[in-house]
Chains A and B, each alone.
Chain A
Amino acid sequence: MVRKNSNATKTSRKETAAAPPVVLITGICGRLGQRLTRLLHRQQHVIGIDRRPFLSFPKDVEHFAVDLRRKKMRDIFRGRDIDAVVHMGIMHNPRTSSAEHHTWNVLGFQRLLENVAQFHVRKLIVLSGAAVYGARPDNPQFLEEDAPLLGGANWSGLRDLIAVDMLAQSFFWKSPSTETVIFRPVHILGSVRNGSSNYLRLPRVPTLLGFDPMMQVIHQDDVVEAIRMALRPGIRGIYNLAGPPPIALSHLIQIAGKPRFAIPHPMAEIAVRKLWKIGMTSFPAPELDHIRYVCMVDDERARSVLGFQHRHDVNAAVRAVFETE
């Protein structure tokens, strides 16, 4: 995969102080990508890769509607002196076919890694998620970064996210000259269209009868801020991101001001599976484990090494779900 031995050549790159560093963001048209762009584009030159349409971006952002798996990606890398790559182009949409999902996520990321290694990109940031650990009854209350990634045990849709995480981990030693950072944030809340935010957007929020696990949520801007901090030289490794202190699921729904109703777990599982089949819900049944068992992380490492501090409390994070952009 690594075509060139890349330890000595890196220092010879031009360090002309005038030109701003170039950062390449995959999946830039996602809501998180847009927020990161808005944060970065004044200090850095931002290049965006996304097949989705280019929305209301600042003028100084270059956008390429390229599939990560295509050869054209190499041209984008070749012409520019890319300083950092932020990989957010991981497909989470559980509705796409699993084959397409898998090749997009795994093959696309592998191609990206090849380019990062060949063109000596200084920094690679990958946005994984705390879901890779899996919500399990035997989880410790706070999972540390070296906990096994068992999220795919019951939820096959998560296996390519785990594969991406693993590929990024192997990149630590495959290309040691690149500072690779993996973020595993807990449930991101905000204008993002992810499972946890969509769950709170439901008109009546279902819970499982007799289950009320502790939850960690994080405001989308705190995640974006963590990514910005990780662009600093010298930062590498895996970081859990946890945000404000954990609260019970029932409390979270109460803050969202939504009525909730409880269903016994076996019934909920059958119902979600049936609804999924006829296309009435976008929640896969295995995701029910996340409102059944704890899946919380210890982000001590991010706080001490990276200097990460959450700026938004739970109320602000929940409020962000319902704000219109």
Chain B
Amino acid sequence: MDRSTVLIRPEDARKQPGIWLGAIRERASAVLQHVTGTDFEEKIRRLEAYRGHERMDSFGLDLEWVRVALVAVAVLHRFYFRVDASGLENVPAGRVLLIANHSGQLPIDAALVAASMFFDAEPPRVVRSMVDKWTQTLPGVCTLFARCGQVVGVPENAKKLLDSEEALLVFPEGTTGISKPFSERYRLKDFGLGFMRLALETRTPIVPIAVLGAEEQYINVGNLETLAKALRMPVFPIIPQWLLPGGLLPLPTKYRIRFGQPLMMTGDPDDEDAVIEPKVEIVRSAIQSMLNRGIKERQHVFW
């Protein structure tokens, strides 16, 4: 992909005084500003100043791609899902593990948590998240993910990122969480233990995050295991709405993202599972109780 054709910069429109083309560009940049907010350029500059990478970091994160991705996600964040994020002041500066519930068939929740950390947090930050190795085999997706800061979910990568004081988003439920059927919504699956060992080893604070609204975006009535195995996919969900015209789009639910108090765990990262499990349970129950409170408080799924 040629970079120059992809990027739309608001200042480009002003530089080129074409007759009607210039007017269209002017209009487009005005729309862009409306979507992304007036302080978007300034935030991007702060991000660049903070990260200060030449072109890409060693994991393939490219701020130019991040910027384009953020413009796209801003539409979802502000208008489509109307994200209501709260508790962002709880996220400490420097290394942090963001632990969230995973839901919604497609990882839109990850994109919106990352968008919240950019649009709503002070200072704006780039979120790195851990993705399944299966995504690396998908053409296009793997490049997009890498350029936007996602890394393959292996402990070595996570350790490296935390050591360089990044914010790391982890969904300990993994693919079983994201592909939950509708009947099991907002009931957390088992958490993996890896994130806790990582937090203990790198002495990283954990911020529990509850995402509400993603569960209802696609109604999954069940998973076909044999077909998934035959297609070498992690899951094959049955989503009736995908058969309707326009049904590929998620339902425009209202997202509520709650960032909880940071938890600082201590202990030996190489302890037995039996010792690690209660610590994981602390995080899991923190997320579950935030979810329960959120469901009780919200008046409606869509607004």
Give A139's nearest chain B residue, CB to CB: B152
CB distance from B176 to the nearest CB of A (A): 18
Distance A264 CA – B143 CA, assembled complex (angstroms): 14
Distance A107 CA – B113 CA, assembled complex (angstroms): 57
**Residues in chain A near residue B56, CB distance under 8 A:** 214, 247-248, 251
CB distance from B10 to the nearest CB of A (A): 26
Q: Does A141 contact B (CB under 8 A)?
A: yes
Instruction: Judge whether B160 and A142 touch: CB under 8 Å.
Output: yes
Distance A142 CA – B151 CA, assembled complex (angstroms): 12
Give A138's nearest chain B residue, CB to CB: B133
Distance A112 CA – B266 CA, assembled complex (angstroms): 52
Instruction: Judge whether B140 and A137 touch: CB under 8 Å.
Output: no
The A interface is mostly helix, strand or loop, or mixed, namely loop
Instruction: Judge whether B160 and A137 touch: CB under 8 Å.
Output: no
Q: Which among B59, B137, B143, B156 is the interface contact of A212 at CB below 8 angstroms?
A: B143
Give A144's nearest chain B residue, CB to CB: B156
Instruction: Judge whether A214 and B136 touch: CB under 8 Å.
Output: no
**Residues in chain A near residue B138, CB distance under 8 A:** 210
Q: Does B154 contact A (CB under 8 A)?
A: yes
Distance A144 CA – B156 CA, assembled complex (angstroms): 9
Give B152's nearest chain A residue, CB to CB: A138
Report, as a range, how many residues of chain A touch the other chain.
Answer: 20 to 34
Instruction: Judge whether A251 and B154 touch: CB under 8 Å.
Output: no
Instruction: Judge whether A142 and B156 touch: CB under 8 Å.
Output: yes
Instruction: Judge whether A293 and B136 touch: CB under 8 Å.
Output: yes
Instruction: Judge whether A140 and B152 touch: CB under 8 Å.
Output: yes
Could you mark each residue 132-159 of chain B with 1 if its beta carbon is under 8 Å from any beta carbon of chain A, else 0? 0110111111110010000110111100
**Residues in chain B near residue A209, CB distance under 8 A:** 139-140
**Residues in chain A near residue B60, CB distance under 8 A:** 213-214, 248
**Residues in chain A near residue B55, CB distance under 8 A:** 247, 251
Instruction: Judge whether B139 and A214 touch: CB under 8 Å.
Output: no
Q: Does B5 contact A (CB under 8 A)?
A: no
**Residues in chain B near residue A208, CB distance under 8 A:** 139
Instruction: Judge whether A211 and B152 touch: CB under 8 Å.
Output: no
Q: Does A310 contact B (CB under 8 A)?
A: no
Instruction: Judge whether B157 and A140 touch: CB under 8 Å.
Output: yes
Instruction: Judge whether B140 and A210 touch: CB under 8 Å.
Output: yes
**Residues in chain B near residue A144, CB distance under 8 A:** 156
Could you mark each residue 134-176 of chain A with 1 if its beta carbon is under 8 Å from any beta carbon of chain B, else 0? 0001111110100000000000000000000000000000000
Distance A7 CA – B90 CA, assembled complex (angstroms): 62
Distance A296 CA – B154 CA, assembled complex (angstroms): 14
Give B153's nearest chain A residue, CB to CB: A138
Instruction: Judge whether A138 and B146 touch: CB under 8 Å.
Output: no
Instruction: Judge whether A138 and B58 touch: CB under 8 Å.
Output: no
Instruction: Judge whether B59 and A141 touch: CB under 8 Å.
Output: yes
| Interface-central residue, A137, A139, A209, A246, by most chain B CB under 10 Å | A137
Give B137's nearest chain A residue, CB to CB: A137
Instruction: Judge whether A141 and B139 touch: CB under 8 Å.
Output: no
Q: Does A20 contact B (CB under 8 A)?
A: no
Distance A306 CA – B139 CA, assembled complex (angstroms): 39
Instruction: Judge whether A141 and B134 touch: CB under 8 Å.
Output: no
Distance A209 CA – B139 CA, assembled complex (angstroms): 6
Q: Does A245 contact B (CB under 8 A)?
A: yes
Distance A208 CA – B152 CA, assembled complex (angstroms): 19
Give A266's nearest chain B residue, CB to CB: B139
Distance A214 CA – B152 CA, assembled complex (angstroms): 13
Instruction: Judge whether A140 and B136 touch: CB under 8 Å.
Output: no
Give B62's nearest chain A residue, CB to CB: A248
Q: Which among A139, A211, A246, A251 is the interface contact of B139 at CB below 8 angstroms?
A: A211
Distance A210 CA – B144 CA, assembled complex (angstroms): 9
Distance A295 CA – B128 CA, assembled complex (angstroms): 20
CB distance from B140 to the nearest CB of A (A): 4
Within 8 A of A (CB), among B40-94: 55-56, 58-60
Instruction: Judge whether B134 and A140 touch: CB under 8 Å.
Output: no
Instruction: Judge whether B143 and A141 touch: CB under 8 Å.
Output: no
Instruction: Judge whether A137 and B136 touch: CB under 8 Å.
Output: yes
**Residues in chain B near residue A296, CB distance under 8 A:** 58
Q: Does A51 contact B (CB under 8 A)?
A: no
Give B140's nearest chain A residue, CB to CB: A210
Instruction: Judge whether B157 and A141 touch: CB under 8 Å.
Output: yes
A246 in contact with B58 given A141-B152, A142-B156, A210-B142 (CB within 8 Å): yes
A214 in contact with B58 given A137-B134, A137-B137, A209-B139 (CB within 8 Å): yes
Distance A250 CA – B200 CA, assembled complex (angstroms): 38
Instruction: Judge whether A210 and B136 touch: CB under 8 Å.
Output: no
CB distance from A310 to the nearest CB of B (A): 14
A214 in contact with B142 given A141-B152, A141-B160, A248-B56 (CB within 8 Å): no
**Residues in chain B near residue A245, CB distance under 8 A:** 58
| Interface-central residue, A141, A245, A247, A248, by most chain B CB under 10 Å | A141
Q: Does A312 contact B (CB under 8 A)?
A: no
Distance A210 CA – B143 CA, assembled complex (angstroms): 6
Q: A137-B133, A210-B141, A210-B143 are in contact. List 4 more A-B contacts (CB 8 A).
A: A137-B137, A212-B146, A214-B58, A247-B55
Contacts A/B (CB < 8 Å), 27 sampled = A137-B137, A137-B152, A138-B136, A138-B152, A138-B154, A140-B152, A140-B155, A140-B156, A141-B58, A141-B151, A141-B152, A141-B156, A142-B156, A142-B160, A208-B139, A209-B139, A210-B139, A210-B140, A210-B141, A211-B142, A211-B143, A212-B143, A212-B146, A214-B60, A247-B55, A248-B60, A265-B139
Q: Which 6 A-B pairs have the closest CB atoms?
A: A210-B139, A210-B140, A140-B156, A137-B136, A138-B133, A140-B154
